[in-house]
């Protein structure tokens, strides 16, 4: 008995099947197609939504947007790879109606429509809100570092420039000495003056380039050649040139309600704008926020409280307590009626000084002398306790962050981050500049939300939502 055999490649068909027959009835491309067709692309900021009366016709924005949404869900982000998918992938052929744009056309669409892509992301969130997919009570906020296009080798600081300039000058001096020695020497075997001059010219051009980089650096602490808006940031894989991608995830179905990208290396100033963005997207009066220690900024927490956002965040770890060897700040009791602290030994630490940054400092040197608990409290002459003007907001946020809420925060926000990094393949942006990076990250978030909503509603429910 033989094997099951396919049809001959040369066999003709009187009734060739339509492309529609190759795409399953409940395929994600049908959801993407329905979603994009329901968008008012011109209002969202896309160009070429209406064909021009004259000139060569261009590709529609809807087709290219569909292509990108499909590509990011399938880990295909490169414009060249997407171009190849248009030529060989039946699902993509159906989605873009067998159009075959060049890779330049595909790449330019992503670069030129950064703001419009952010608007598409916001539009889908509002679609989910109207479909009651968002709880609107609790959000978890977190950030992650995503590599920029530029590598660490392009990172420049004043210290690096000074070292490089010193090395180049030393080499130039050495080559000049060799040239002088060659000119003065009468020996038969001497360095080739022409070769030395060529090397000297190379070094001089390098020196000129370093001076130019120094001028571009100016008063900045760091600068990245080719991508100045990217910054060197600490990541689990070490220091890398990257951007800081932020998300706020709704607790009901783990959908991302607000996202942003910044070039700040830490999250201290990101809490309030992210919380306000999530609150505006959810259209609620009050909101509970869950964050980690990196967001525990007094001014940011106080701003959230003023805007009806109740944040739970762990207190930043104190570095001067030597891993539990010394009393932490929680061992000292603040007394608001007298504006002082009571230490574990029962002594009173009085307010002695205020800094320009709004930090109040408390100590009592005489109380520490001869104290039986001093070895457990400080290694210095006396123990000092500091308090910011927003300390009450920090205390309130720390009290709200129970073990259960800490687990809830992790379960809410870590999974979306992981899924979106999987969608990006290698978690690296493909465009340069903060403005364009925000547009690309909006594509990632929209693709994730589409996938997540489809998982929650199913195909039929999803199609009903995007068509309403």
Tell me if 65 is assigned to some domain: yes
Q: Residues 190, 309: one domain?
A: no
Tell me if 62 is assigned to some domain: yes
More confident residue, 119 or 189: 119
- Cβ neighbours, 10 Å, residue 402: 10
Residue carrying the six token digits 């300390």? 391
pTM, two decimals, is: 0.81
Residue 203 — φ and ψ, nearest 5°? -65, -40
Answer for the pair 361, 355: CB distance below 8 angstroms, yes or no.
yes
- Rounded CA-CA distance 416/248 in Å is 10
Q: Looking at residue 330, what DSSP letter applies?
A: G
Residue 321's pLDDT is 53
Task: Write the CB contacts of 194 (distance below 8 Å, at least 6 apart in sequence).
Answer: none
- Rounded CA-CA distance 265/169 in Å is 34
- Rounded CA-CA distance 405/330 in Å is 20
pLDDT in tens, 345-395: 999 999 998 887 778 899 999 889 889 898 888 888 899 888 888 888 888
Q: Residues 108, 73: one domain?
A: yes
Residue 362 — φ and ψ, nearest 5°? -125, 135
Q: Residues 65, 105: one domain?
A: yes
pLDDT in tens, 59-114: 889 999 999 999 999 999 999 999 999 999 999 999 999 999 999 999 999 999 99
- Rounded CA-CA distance 452/468 in Å is 19
- Rounded CA-CA distance 228/148 in Å is 11
From residue 136, alpha-carbon distances to 109, 143, 289, 406, 462 in Å are: 33, 20, 11, 19, 20
More confident residue, 257 or 375: 257
Tell me if 2 is assigned to some domain: no
Q: Max CA-CA distance within the chain?
A: 103
Total number of domains constituting the chain: 4
CA-wise closest residue to 235 among 428, 419, 411: 428
Q: Residues 287, 341: one domain?
A: no
Q: Residues 333, 302: one domain?
A: no
Q: Residues 206, 180: one domain?
A: yes
| Position 456 pLDDT exceeds 90 | yes
Residue 394's pLDDT is 87
Q: Residues 42, 104: one domain?
A: yes
- Rounded CA-CA distance 449/74 in Å is 14
Residue 113's pLDDT is 95
The CATH number of residue 296's host domain is 3.30.420.10
- Rounded CA-CA distance 274/391 in Å is 21
Range of the domain at 191: 158-220
Q: Residues 299, 425: one domain?
A: yes
Q: Residues 178, 31: one domain?
A: no
Residue carrying the six token digits 């574990």? 344
What is the token pair recorded at 271?
């809490």
Percent of the chain with pLDDT over 90: 54
Tell me if 135 is assigned to some domain: no
Tell me if 298 is assigned to some domain: yes
3-state secondary structure 353-397: EECCCCEEEEECHHHHCCCCCHHHCCCCCCCCEEEECCHHHHHHH
Secondary structure tally for the chain: helices H, strands E: 15, 13
Q: Residues 26, 95: one domain?
A: yes
Q: Residues 162, 213: one domain?
A: yes
Tell me if 134 is assigned to some domain: no
């Amino acid at each position: 008995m033989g094997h099951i055999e396919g049809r001959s490649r040369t066999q003709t068909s009187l009734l060739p099947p339509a492309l529609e027959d190759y795409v399953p009835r409940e395929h994600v491309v049908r959801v993407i197609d329905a979603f994009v067709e329901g968008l008012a692309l011109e209002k969202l900021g896309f160009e070429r939504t209406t064909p021009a009366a004259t000139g060569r016709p261009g590709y529609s924005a809807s087709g290219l947007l569909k292509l990108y949404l499909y590509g990011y869900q399938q880990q295909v982000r490169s414009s060249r790879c997407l171009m190849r998918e248009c030529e060989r992938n039946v699902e993509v052929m159906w989605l873009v109606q067998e159009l075959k744009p060049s890779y330049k056309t595909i790449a330019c669409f992503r670069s030129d429509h950064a703001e419009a892509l952010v608007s598409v992301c916001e539009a889908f969130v509002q679609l989910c809100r109207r479909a009651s997919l968002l709880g609107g009570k609790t959000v978890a906020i977190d950030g992650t570092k995503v590599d920029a296009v530029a590598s660490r080798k392009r990172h420049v600081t004043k210290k690096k420039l000074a070292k490089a300039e010193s090395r180049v000058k030393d080499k130039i001096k050495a080559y000049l000495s060799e040239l002088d020695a060659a000119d003065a020497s009468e020996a038969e075997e001497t360095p080739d003056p022409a070769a030395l001059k060529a090397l000297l010219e190379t070094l001089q051009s390098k020196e000129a380039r370093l001076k130019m980089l120094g001028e571009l650096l100016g008063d900045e602490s760091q600068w990245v050649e080719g991508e100045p808006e990217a910054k060197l940031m600490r990541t689990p894989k070490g220091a890398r040139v990257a951007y800081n991608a932020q998300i706020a995830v709704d607790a009901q179905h783990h959908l991302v309600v607000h996202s942003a990208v910044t070039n700040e290396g830490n999250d201290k100033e990101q809490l309030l704008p992210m919380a306000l963005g999530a609150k505006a997207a959810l259209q609620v009066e009050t909101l509970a926020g869950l964050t980690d220690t990196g967001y525990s900024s007094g001014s940011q927490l106080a701003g959230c409280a003023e805007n009806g956002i109740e944040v739970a965040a762990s207190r930043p770890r104190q570095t001067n307590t030597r891993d539990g060897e010394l009393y932490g700040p929680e061992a000292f009791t603040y007394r608001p009626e007298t504006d002082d602290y009571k230490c574990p030994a029962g002594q009173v630490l009085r307010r002695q000084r205020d800094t320009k940054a709004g930090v109040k400092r408390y100590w009592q040197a005489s109380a520490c002398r001869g104290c039986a608990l001093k070895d457990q409290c400080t290694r210095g002459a006396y123990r000092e306790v500091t308090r910011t003007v927003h300390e009450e907001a920090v205390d309130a946020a720390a009290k709200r962050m129970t073990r259960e809420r800490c687990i809830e925060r992790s379960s809410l926000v870590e999974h979306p981050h992981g899924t979106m990094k999987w969608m990006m393949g290698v978690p690296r942006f493909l465009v340069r500049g903060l403005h364009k990076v925000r547009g690309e990250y909006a594509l990632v978030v929209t693709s994730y939300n589409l996938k997540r909503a489809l998982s929650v509603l199913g195909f039929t429910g999803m199609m009903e939502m995007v068509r309403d």
